[in-house]
Chains A and B, each alone.
Chain A
Amino acid sequence: MYNESSIRNQLIVSKTYNNLTQDILHPIETKSGKLWWIAFIIAIIATLLGIACIIYTIITGIGVWGLNRTINWAWDITNFVWWIGIGHAGTLISAVLLLFRQKWRLSINRSAEAMTIFAVIQAGLFPIIHMGRPWDAYWVFPIPNQLGTLWPNFNSPLLWDVFAISTYFSVSLIFWFIGLIPDFAMIRDHTKNPIKKKIYGILSFGWSGKAKHWYMFEEISLILAGLCTPLVFSVHTIVSFDFATSIIKGWHSTIFPPYFVAGAIFSGFAMVQTILGVARKVLHLESYITIKHIENMNIIIMVTGGIVTLAYISEFIMSWYSGNIFEDFTYLSSGAATGPFSWAFWVLIICNILIPQLLWFKKIRKNFLWSYVISIFINIGMWFERFNIIVLNLSHDYLPSSWTGFLPTFVDIGIFIGTIGLFFVLYLLYARTFPIIAQAELKTILKSNVSK
């Protein structure tokens, strides 16, 4: 920005254009190191475990999961929402922070968007597996199907999810790809390998860096950011409707939609910290993803975490205030804090409310290791949040005779580990073949630093 105030810190110092180009090219041009191969093999093994469990589920039936008549939804939907939530940060960074012209987003947006896309892929797996007959998955789309009269139930938020998430996925993918084009072109121009040159040439759509191209690029980025911003809200709003309308008949809480959105951003940023923390160390990106970036992400975690805390408190007080005895056992009530699932309740409170408060200390906020550890706690806490909403709520049916607990089987756990594996497989492949930092855009802020 012109006339930038002197109290604003420069984000990236002591890097030239050429440094940046070489640093981005380095992982693509060189052979993978040992560490990468070890990580990749572990991820592949986890993926294979997941695939085996999925095949076992599909051949045998959903009965192999730990579900029972009362708790007819558990790990699958928990994982689904957890992954969707993780995906949120990418869109927020790329779309909302673009609209707010936050330049610190530039070092992290590419990887966060990649994370979004890979996370949504994992999320999408769960409903498809849960259908039991994944080959009929296309029936969720409102196309006349061969049964003639069976059309999707438009009254169900689960169907709205299909539309929301597929829109979200496709817009995020396009946004991500558009951003990649100038960077692919850079790799195309620099790589010596003819096959790579060909591939990156196709991917870069003939980008030549003309003023016209840049103009179009800016326009489309802005339009897609404008489209993405409502999607940040819509996806998790509809996910929250799943629970608010259907998990227990007659129970709902109107705060769910905005609170789920905040919670998704909260968990998404925690995952960005976790993933980028590894990438930063392994690929030596310390001069691009600086402590300032980590601090900024921590501040966003604090703000969204604060909103989530406020929502928890509202929930808790209102369930007491309503005086409704049927609300006494539900998610975030005194019954939940003392009942059979109190351990899950307290894991949620400790991981999501208490531990993130450490970030109020500047020393912790600016410390890589501490924020890394806190981010892992938040990931766990957000998983338990969904677990609480679903399992805890379902465990008390309307008939006391059918009250029950829940234990996951090895298949539940296997599929979950499998998705984490697949996520890392995709991420590791991405880290070796894609420009992991939006170098073309990042160069624009180097320029403003040079001109000062």
Chain B
Amino acid sequence: MYKYVTYIFIIIGFMLFSIGFYQNLSIQKNEIKLEQNISYLKNKIYNRPWSALYIAAFYFTSISLGVLFFLGIQYVSKAGWVIVIIRIMEGIASFIPYGGIIIILILVLNSIGYIHIFSWMDLNPIDKIIINKQPYLNKVFFLIRSIIYLVGWTIFMIYIKNLSKKLDKTHNILYYNKLYKVNVIFLIFFAITSTTMGWDWIMSLDINWISTLFSWYILSSYVVTGITTITLISIYLKNKGYIPLFNNNHLHDLAKYIFATSLLWSYLWFAQYLLYWYGNIPEEVIYFFNRSKEYNNIYLWMLIPNFLIPLLGLISSNIKRNYKVITIIGFIIIIGHYIDIYNMIMPSSVYKFYGFGFLEIGSFLFMMGFFIFIIQKTLRKMEFDPKGNPFFNESKYYKYPY
């Protein structure tokens, strides 16, 4: 039964998306009402299906990426508590190439001019808006970079998974040392690529707007969702009895990480917002100004699920060990950060023609089904207890506070 749930998600998602797509295509341009009658802005209405798909694809791929990053940190910091759930992390990280391909597909379609969510790609390269950015921001280099990110992350993900599998089989400490080294290199690669990826995949949607912090802000967002996803999947598998070693001490630590990274996200949100609000420079505040005018201050409202609920909900030690409450808060955070990604991508690509309908729900369900399908497929092939890891016993008998 559970095996088919993902297929149902994928099929329903696809159907809803198709309906939405058809509806979107059948909109006549002269029916659109806009205060200024600008054809260029009106065209943006046709970006909506692609933006919706891009949001969902980016959202789920970045979850996997955030999990791989978190896994890397655990290896490099020689964390002991986490070992009983590293298989789950490896499983979630496996989605990177699949989601990544959809992102690359959208980028390629955009660069050949079939879709238009990256408005700079439609500009003449000698346009004064982007001429100074040419050496970095041109279609060819942009696609090469995107492929480097994706291939790089995928290779690291596969290599880390293989090494950890070998470590399990052989109990050979040499593989552990190798894992440590590979993860150090991965973290360096990730630090650089995650920064430029943020500029490329998200910030360049708004070609005139820059923020030096932005990539770290995106990073913090998907690290939160990544850790929340680990927690939710761990709770699910625990309830199904797959990971009996997982207990509320591990849950406590995961909840602490959700709490800490949620606050980190809020901190970065605040740092960026405050500096732009304080500076009040037109080309910078336009980013928030458009979002408050056309999008009903969604960037402020999302602080409720992303900041206030984790802050107030997760501060107590007892709640951090409560499976039910953590599940509820986890789902709230997951939704909250979907809003965050939506708020980054949608306003930049579709102007005011946004909505939340068949397109968004459909693409979300479709990608979610795909995401869960891949994770299920990977996890089914895995042994859940990494017995070969030298810290396995530390994790097995982990108790907080010790």
Q: Indicate if the CB atoms of B216 and A258 lie closer than 8 Å.
A: yes
Question: If the complex has contacts A254-B214, A258-B216, are A1 and B394 also in contact, measured as CB distance less than 8 A?
Answer: yes
* Residue tally, chain A, CB below 8 Å to B: 36
- Interface majority SS (helix, strand, loop, mixed), chain A: helix
Asked if A306 lies at the interface with its beta carbon under 8 angstroms from chain B, I say yes
- If over half of B's interface residues share one DSSP class (helix, strand or loop), that class is named, otherwise mixed; here it is helix
A 131-168 to B, binary, CB cutoff 8 A, 1 in contact else 0: 00000000000000000000000000000000000000
CA distance A227 to B274 in the complex (A): 23
* Per-residue contact bits, chain A 243-265, to B (CB 8 Å; 1 contact, 0 not): 01100001011111110000000
Instruction: Output the least CB separation between B30 and chain A (Å).
Output: 36
Most chain A CB atoms below 10 A, which of B173, B176, B391: B391
Cβ of B43 < 8 Å from any Cβ of A? no
A237 interface residue, CB < 8 Å from B?
yes
Is A318 interfacial (CB 8 A cutoff)? yes
Q: A254–B272 contact, CB under 8 A? A: yes
Considering only residues 1-31 of chain A, those with a C-beta below 8 Å from chain B are: 1-8
* B191 engages A252 (CB within 8 Å): no
In the complex the two chains form, is B397's CB within 8 Å of A245's CB? no
A residues within 8 A CB of B211? Answer: 254
Q: Check: B320 CB closer than 8 A to any chain A CB.
A: no
Task: Say how far B169's CB is from chain A's closest CB, in angstroms.
Answer: 18
How far in angstroms is the closest Cβ of chain A from B47?
Answer: 24
**For B276, what are the chain A residues with a Cβ–Cβ distance below 8 Å?**
254
B181 nearest CB across to chain A (Å): 11
Asked whether, in the complex, the Cβ of A322 is within 8 Å of the Cβ of B390, the reply is: no
Q: Is A361 an interface residue (CB 8 A)?
A: no
Chain B stretch 91-142: residues in CB contact (< 8 A) with chain A = 132-133, 136-137
Contacts A3-B394, A256-B275, A306-B191 known; A323 to B132 CB distance under 8 Å?
yes
User: How many B residues have CB within 8 A of the partner chain?
Assistant: 39
Q: Are A318 and B210 in contact (CB under 8 A)?
A: yes
- Tell me if B212 counts as interface (CB < 8 A to partner A): yes
Complex Cα spacing A7 to B391, Å: 8
A68 at the interface (CB under 8 A from B): no
Given contacts A3-B397, A314-B195, contact A321 B279 (CB under 8 A): no
In-complex Cβ contact of B192 among A7, A310, A320 (8 A): A310
Q: Which residues of A contact B396 (CB under 8 A)?
A: 3
Closest to A245 in B: B278
Asked whether any CB of chain B lies closer than 8 Å to the CB of A397, the reply is no
**For the complex, is B152 an interface residue (Cβ under 8 Å from A)?**
no
Chain B proximity of A350: nearest CB distance (Å): 21
Would you give the 0/1 interface string for B249-281, flagging 1 where the beta carbon is closer than 8 Å to chain A? 000000000000001000110011011101101
Q: Name 11 interchain pairs, CB-CB below 8 A, sorted by A.
A: A2-B397, A7-B390, A101-B402, A237-B267, A241-B275, A250-B281, A254-B276, A257-B267, A306-B188, A306-B191, A321-B133
Q: Spell out A's residues near B (CB within 8 Å).
A: 1-8, 101, 230, 233, 237, 241, 244-245, 250, 252-258, 306-307, 310-311, 313-315, 317-318, 320-323
